[in-house]
C-alpha cells in the first residue's frame, strides 16, 4: 500500500475512535468536547504513535487508545492555549476557538475534561498480552510529556519570558518541553507498547526529539509568513527566516539519520518527517 494511503487509513481509524470516545453524552459539555476535537487537525501525534508502534510489530487495535490519548492531550493544550489569559486566539482550525463558541469558563472545563479523559482512556486500554510493563512505560512517557516537566513547564516558560530574554539554549529548552515533549512521547509510546528493543527505542526517541523541534521551527516559519511580528518567544525573531530554515533542515536530517542508524523500517515516519521539512510550504 502507498504510504499516503496507510497514513490516511490511520487518520480515519483515529477519527472513528475519537468519535466513539466522545459520543456518549448529549450534554452541552460533550458538544464542546466534540467541537474541540472532531472535524479538524492533522492527527500528527497519533500518526507518529501508530507508525512507530506498527514499525515494531504492534497491531493497530492495541495502539489506538494510546494514539487517541495523545490527541486528546494535544487538544486540551490547544483549547487552553487559545484562552484570553494565554494566547487569546479567536480562531482554531478555521473556526471560532472553543472559548469563542462556548464561553471562557466552559472552555476551561472542556480542556480539563480532555486531559482527564486521555488518562481514563489509557487506564482502560488493554496491555500488550503478558506485558503490563509496556503499558506502564508508555503511560509514564505520556504523563511526563504532558506534565510539569514537559508541556506545562514549557508553556510556563513561554508566558514568563519576554521576547529578548531567550537565547538559542533557552529557546531550545522551551520548545523541547512545550511542543517537543508530546511529539517525542507519542513516537516513544508506540515503540514501547510494541516492545521495541533498546536500540530501536533509543532511535525513535532521538527521532521524536528532532521532529519535535522541527515542528515548532516550521510553525514559527508559517506564522512569520502569515502574520506580523510574533508575540512570544519565536524562532524567526531569534534566528531570522534563513537561520530558522537552516535549523529546520538540520532537525529533519537528524530525524532521518536517527531512523537510519537504528534501522527503523518505517516509510510512514520518514514521510511524516518530510511533511514538516523546509520544502513543504515554508
> Segment 10-69, which members bind ligand GRG (CB under 6 A)?
41-42, 44
* Angle (CA) 227 232 234, round 5°: 70
- In the stretch 216-245, what mask flags binding to ligand GRG with x, by CB under 6 A? x--x--------------------------
Question: For ligand GRG, which is the closer residue by CB, 137 or 157?
Answer: 157
Q: How far is the CB of 195 from ligand GRG (least distance, A)?
A: 27
Contact 79, 111 (CB under 8 A): yes
Q: How far is the CB of 164 from ligand GRG (least distance, A)?
A: 20
Distances in Å between the Cα of 148 and the Cα atoms of 156, 177, 183, 280 are 9, 9, 16, 33
Question: For ligand GRG, which is the closer residue by CB, 178 or 206?
Answer: 178
Distance CA 125, CA 119 (A): 10
Q: How far is the CB of 41 from ligand GRG (least distance, A)?
A: 3
Q: Quick one: how far is CA 238 from the chain centroid? A: 23
Q: How far is the CB of 112 from ligand GRG (least distance, A)?
A: 11
Contact 217, 235 (CB under 8 A): yes
| Interacting residue with ligand GRG among 93, 95, 140, 149 (CB under 6 A) | 93
Distance CA 60, CA 24 (A): 23
Count CB-CB contacts under 10 A for residue 94: 7
Neighbouring residues of 245: CB distance < 8 A, sequence distance ≥ 6? 221, 278, 282
Distance CA 185, CA 66 (A): 11
Contact 174, 154 (CB under 8 A): yes
Question: For ligand GRG, which is the closer residue by CB, 87 or 249?
Answer: 87
| Interacting residue with ligand GRG among 77, 186, 244, 266 (CB under 6 A) | 77
- Residue 178 as a binder of ligand GRG (CB under 6 A): the answer is yes
Using the rule CB under 6 A, give the single segment among 47-55, 70-78, 260-268, 274-282 that binds ligand GRG. Answer: 70-78
Q: How far is the CB of 178 from ligand GRG (least distance, A)?
A: 5
Distance CA 218, CA 95 (A): 22
- Residue 141 as a binder of ligand GRG (CB under 6 A): the answer is no
Distance CA 213, CA 247 (A): 9
| Interacting residue with ligand GRG among 51, 179, 186, 273 (CB under 6 A) | 179
- Residue 180 as a binder of ligand GRG (CB under 6 A): the answer is no
Contact positions toward ligand GRG, by CB under 6 A? 41-42, 44, 74, 77-78, 80-81, 86, 93, 151-152, 155, 178-179, 216, 219
Amino acid at each position: 500500500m502507498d504510504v499516503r494511503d496507510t497514513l490516511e487509513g490511520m487518520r480515519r481509524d483515529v477519527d472513528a475512535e475519537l468519535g466513539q470516545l466522545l459520543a456518549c453524552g448529549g450534554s452541552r459539555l460533550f458538544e464542546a468536547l466534540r467541537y474541540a476535537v472532531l472535524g479538524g487537525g492533522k492527527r500528527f501525534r497519533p500518526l507518529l504513535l501508530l507508525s512507530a508502534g506498527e514499525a515494531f510489530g504492534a497491531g493497530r487495535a492495541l495502539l489506538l487508545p494510546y494514539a487517541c490519548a495523545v490527541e486528546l492531550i494535544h487538544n486540551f493544550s490547544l483549547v487552553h492555549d487559545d484562552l484570553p489569559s494565554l494566547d487569546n486566539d479567536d480562531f482554531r482550525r478555521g473556526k471560532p476557538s472553543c472559548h469563542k463558541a462556548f464561553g471562557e469558563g466552559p472552555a476551561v472545563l472542556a480542556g480539563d475534561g480532555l486531559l482527564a479523559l486521555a488518562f481514563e482512556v489509557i487506564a482502560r486500554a488493554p496491555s500488550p498480552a503478558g506485558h503490563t510493563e509496556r503499558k506502564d512505560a508508555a503511560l509514564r512517557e505520556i504523563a511526563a510529556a504532558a506534565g510539569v516537566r514537559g508541556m506545562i513547564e514549557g508553556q510556563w516558560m513561554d508566558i514568563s519570558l519576554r521576547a529578548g530574554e531567550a537565547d538559542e539554549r533557552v529557546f531550545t529548552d522551551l520548545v523541547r518541553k512545550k511542543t517537543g515533549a508530546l511529539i517525542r512521547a507519542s513516537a516513544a509510546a508506540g515503540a514501547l507498547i510494541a516492545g521495541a528493543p533498546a536500540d530501536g527505542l533509543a532511535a525513535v526517541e532521538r527521532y521524536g526529539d528532532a521532529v519535535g523541534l522541527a515542528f515548532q521551527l516550521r510553525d514559527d516559519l508559517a506564522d512569520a509568513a502569515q502574520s506580523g511580528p510574533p508575540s512570544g518567544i519565536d524562532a524567526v525573531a531569534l534566528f531570522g527566516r534563513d537561520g530558522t530554515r537552516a535549523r529546520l533542515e538540520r532537525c529533519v536530517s537528524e530525524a532521518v539519520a536517527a531512523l537510519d542508524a537504528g534501522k527503523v523500517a518505517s516509510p510512514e515516519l520518514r514521510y511524516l518527517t518530510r511533511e514538516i521539512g523546509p520544502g513543504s510550504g515554508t
